[in-house]
Amino acid sequence: MLHLSKKVEYGLIAIRHIASQPVSEVITAKELSDKYQIPFDMLAKILQKLSKKGLIVSYQGVRGGYVLGRRSDQIKLSDVIYAIEGKQNVSLINCEKENPDSCNIYQTCTIKNPLSKIQNIINGMFDEMTISEIV
Amino acid sequence: MLHLSKKVEYGLIAIRHIASQPVSEVITAKELSDKYQIPFDMLAKILQKLSKKGLIVSYQGVRGGYVLGRRSDQIKLSDVIYAIEGKQNVSLINCEKENPDSCNIYQTCTIKNPLSKIQNIINGMFDEMTISEIV
DNA sequence: TTAAATAGGACTAAAATGGTCGTATATTAA
DNA sequence: TTAATATACGACCATTTTAGTCCTATTTAA
């Protein structure tokens, strides 16, 4: 409970590695997959998501790969998480995730307000920590 | 991702309700189940777990039910969470959950240290907030 | 033109979660 | 002493989520 998904873990490992290399260096999915023992196909799709959000930039074809899309101190952990999971999928309690009426005790529920406080603090941490800090 | 389980939600709702009643009041699982639309069998087992840890006290038989096991300002959210999920099941990253060698990239993983910082802060929040604060 | 690389949809397997069922036991009151 | 009401608890099942695989297409450098 309260886990980050493997996808997010893999995504963080990958983008951290890219950030740790010289900016001119183009990193391939295969290199990352080998170095960190991450299933290639999974990783490929995670990188695609990061690329779609502009966190990294992809080059196709032979000698292609990935580089950072912007400076590592401009990439927040929350950017990575949201790129992979979608913002709405990250929440302590389910009723915040989707429309309230998906929860049939929304009205009578007495814990959602206190827990949102904690939620906000957690969000804040992921907003404040950048990739540059974890390199 | 990053969700509390329904079990924990139900447990918090239940213990909060018990805490909100006069101390002499004995609350049954059925009352809670009805009031908050929580499946009875689920709730029953959650209450048993809380009871085993002494967070609440159970009375069996006719006119039985539950009362708080100690003052509501002495019951931390983390107590409730751990009673229901077990301490080891609450962690941002999987490798902290069990023995490290369950993760085959434990050695090469480069994100576990930064994330444990965040983990510690989250744990801290659940340790500091008590049931009395959410009544 | 070939090889190496990303792009991406469809699918499957495995694990976690949520929920149910059946039975036992305890307690009170009629 | 019996009936009714309550908790105790293991076993089980269904659903959802997560993790992982497969296949094909496209891009591009040499």
Q: Say if the Cβ atoms of B114 and A129 lie within 8 Å.
A: yes
> Do A46 and A14 contact (CB within 8 A), yes or no?
yes
B110 near A CB under 8 A:
yes
* pLDDT one digit per residue (tens) for chain B, 135 residues: 999 999 999 999 999 999 999 999 999 999 999 999 999 999 999 999 999 999 999 999 999 999 999 999 999 999 999 999 999 889 999 777 545 667 878 888 999 999 999 999 999 999 999 999 999
Is the CB of residue A91 inside 7 Å of nucleic acid strand C? no
pTM of the model: 0.94
> Do B3 and A85 contact (CB within 8 A), yes or no?
no
Shortest distance between the Cα of B56 and any Cα of chain A, in A, equals: 18
The alpha helices in chain A, defined as continuous H runs, are: 6-20, 29-36, 40-52, 77-85, 112-128
How close are the terminal C-alpha atoms of chain A, in Å?
27
Compute the radius of gyration of chain B from its Cα atoms.
17
Shortest distance between the Cα of B60 and any Cα of chain A, in A, equals: 27
Q: Say if the Cβ atoms of B2 and A6 lie within 8 Å.
A: no
